[in-house]
Amino acid sequence: MTSSTSSSKPRRSALERSFRRYAIGLGATLGTLMTVFGIVNTRVNPLGVTPTPWSDNGFRDYRPIYRSQRTAKPGLIRSEKWDAVMMGSSRVDIALDPSNPHWGDLRVANLAFSAGSLPESAAMFKYAADRQPLQLAIVGVDLYDLTVDYNVGATAGFTESPLNDKADPVERELRYIFGYNSVQASYNAIHDRATKHLPEYTANGHRLRHKPSFDLRKKLESDSIPHAIRFIRQRKAQHGLVASKLDAFREILDTAKKKGCRLILMIPPNHAIYVATYFYAGDPDPAFDLERGTVVKLAAEADAKNPNTPPIEIWDFYDFHPLNAETVPPLGDEKAQMQYWMDGTHALKSLGDIMLARMMGWPLDGGPGADYGVRLTPENLQARDRQLRAGYEDYRKTHAEEFQWMTTVAAKYSEGGGPEDE
């Protein structure tokens, strides 16, 4: 027994030494790997959330914002100084140019999100205003956002972003420095810089590049018109203001007033064929009078409570203006593109520049749009409703073929086919 026990001890000792060597080697390898990850991620700062004195600003133009918008756009606030910000959904993300030369010396960032909603805009505005002395904020308010209970932020990266104040801040920051997603973003930035390939987003957050080319009628048929029909169905089932969206909208107003920041609320345009779908398909409030009236009312109340702050301005571009009723190319023509519209719900920079000129009082340089958009007040709400309804009747007549085609597509979805899960 003594001999057997004695002989097993060297074997155990050898195994233990072997395991220790393995554990030490593994730990050293992982430690080295994590150190490399941290050095690379802080050097490249691919999403803007890991700025350090040794970060290389040469990667600024190559940040892969598109795949991580809800982290990378707050990263713009962490990494740089700004005087003005723009927030909202993809309608703001695509249309409004923070590098427009008329901004002059004002440093402007586009902080809008694809599929963004009011709660995300409220969180983004507060995050920015708490960290920077902003002079101006432009916030896009999609009217149906106030009455349709949707918010894709949880599945689109909001939970992992700096905007989520319920997350563990230590775990989040460690992930930004050492995490694989950051490493992948660093690799993309390094590759794009090496190949001089500019990504979809500009350095100040504008989704400007790599616009797809497609048959616009097919895009309207598969996306824009079904999008309207889906919301119409929801609004028919329950048409009322959503409490969480109202809370978020009030938070936007409150942030502006607390910070003394000039706030412009912008109701973005949609192409007339999209707007007309709401009238044709029997939406309970196709002119969005409830939502538009709510925006004006709450803004007026915020102004009344804070008389010593800049008054809130509301610009409404959602109508049948000729710029919104640009003729859609015929079906089957994949090369023909519109001047002002990417599809039925997204205006291009060419129209966004006109919107900015109207809101900011810039010259239009002889181009169209001197009468584009309406600055809303409590006094002109009824006139705005009449203008929309008259615009619909005029659009039906002046764009008869286009309107008839829309009714055919809308009827297909209204009869039970459906965009519900698209």
Question: Per-residue pLDDT averaged across 149-162, rounded?
Answer: 80
pLDDT of residue 420: 38
Does some domain include residue 150?
A: yes
- For 91, residues 6+ apart whose C-beta sits below 8 A from its C-beta are 112, 140, 142, 268, 269, 270, 345, 346, 347
Residue 345 has pLDDT above 80, yes or no: yes
Give the least confident one: 222-236, 254-268, 296-310. Answer: 222-236
Give the least confident one: 20-34, 143-157, 190-204, 347-361. Answer: 20-34
15/26 Cα distance (integer angstroms) = 16
Does some domain include residue 34?
A: no
Does some domain include residue 10?
A: no
Give residue-wise pLDDT tens across range 374-422: 999 999 999 999 999 999 999 999 999 999 999 999 998 876 544 333 3
Strands 374-375 and 262-267: unpaired
Q: Which band of pLDDT confidence, cut at 50, 70 and 90, is reported for residue 11?
A: low
Written as six digits, the tokens of 263 are 């706030």
Does some domain include residue 7?
A: no
Distance of CA 188 to the CA centre of its chain: 22
Give residue-wise pLDDT tens across range 223-233: 999 999 999 99
Give the least confident one: 190-204, 208-222, 319-333, 365-379. Answer: 208-222
Residue 151 has pLDDT above 70, yes or no: yes
Give the least confident one: 31-35, 253-257, 284-288. Answer: 31-35
Residue 164 has pLDDT above 80, yes or no: yes
pLDDT of residue 5: 53
The percentage of the chain sitting over the pLDDT mark of 70, rounded to a whole number, equals: 94
Stated pTM of the model: 0.92
Q: Which domain holds residue 318?
A: 69-172+197-414
Written as six digits, the tokens of 363 are 């010259």
DSSP string, 208-247: -S------HHHHIIIIIHHHHHHHHHHHHH--S--HHHHH
- For 208, residues 6+ apart whose C-beta sits below 8 A from its C-beta are 97, 200, 201, 202, 349
Helix, strand or coil for residue 65? coil
Q: Which band of pLDDT confidence, cut at 50, 70 and 90, is reported for residue 27?
A: confident
Written as six digits, the tokens of 51 are 């700025």
Residue 288 contacts residue 143 (beta carbons within 8 Å): yes
| Amino acid occupying residue 297 | K
Written as six digits, the tokens of 389 are 């309804």
Give me the sheet containing 108-110, strands edge to edge.
Answer: 108-110, 84-87, 136-140, 262-267, 313-316, 374-375
Mean pLDDT of the chain: 92
Q: What angle do CA 69, 243, 72 make, to 5 degrees?
A: 10
Residue 186 has pLDDT above 50, yes or no: yes
Does some domain include residue 50?
A: no
Q: How many CA atoms lie within 13 A of 339 on its CB side?
A: 10
Question: How many independent structural domains does the chain possess?
Answer: 1
Q: CATH no. for residue 306?
A: 3.40.50.1110
Residue 84 has pLDDT above 60, yes or no: yes
Q: Which band of pLDDT confidence, cut at 50, 70 and 90, is reported for residue 31?
A: confident
Residue 9 has pLDDT above 80, yes or no: no
CA end-to-end distance (rounded Å), the chain: 74
Does some domain include residue 254?
A: yes
Residue 3 has pLDDT above 60, yes or no: no
Residue 53 has pLDDT above 50, yes or no: yes
Query: How far lies 404's CA from each of 1, 283, 325, 398, 407, in Å?
Result: 98, 18, 14, 11, 5
The percentage of the chain sitting over the pLDDT mark of 90, rounded to a whole number, equals: 81
